Structure 1
Amino acid sequence: LIMEFEKEFNISIPDDQAENITTVGQAVAYLESHAK
């Protein structure tokens, strides 16, 4: 799922950060805070 987010939003999520994303809400929060 993380790899799909990376492709869809053209971002790179480091493995150490990806390990902490366990819910959809956390994924949304990460994407919002790291949007370009």
Structure 2
Amino acid sequence: MNLSIIATIFVIFVSVNQSFGAMIHLVRASFKTC
């Protein structure tokens, strides 16, 4: 495995994880208001 490939996969994984956590936070907030 190339180091740059591992770094790219890690950056993509972190960005996807942050967006997924924000989506869960929005869903929880919408459920609280209902």
Q: TM-score, normalised by structure 2?
A: 0.38
Structure 1 length normalisation: TM-score? 0.36
Tell which structure's C-alpha radius of gyration is larger: 2
Higher relative contact order (CA 8 A, sep 6+): 1
> Which structure has more helix as a fraction of its residues?
2
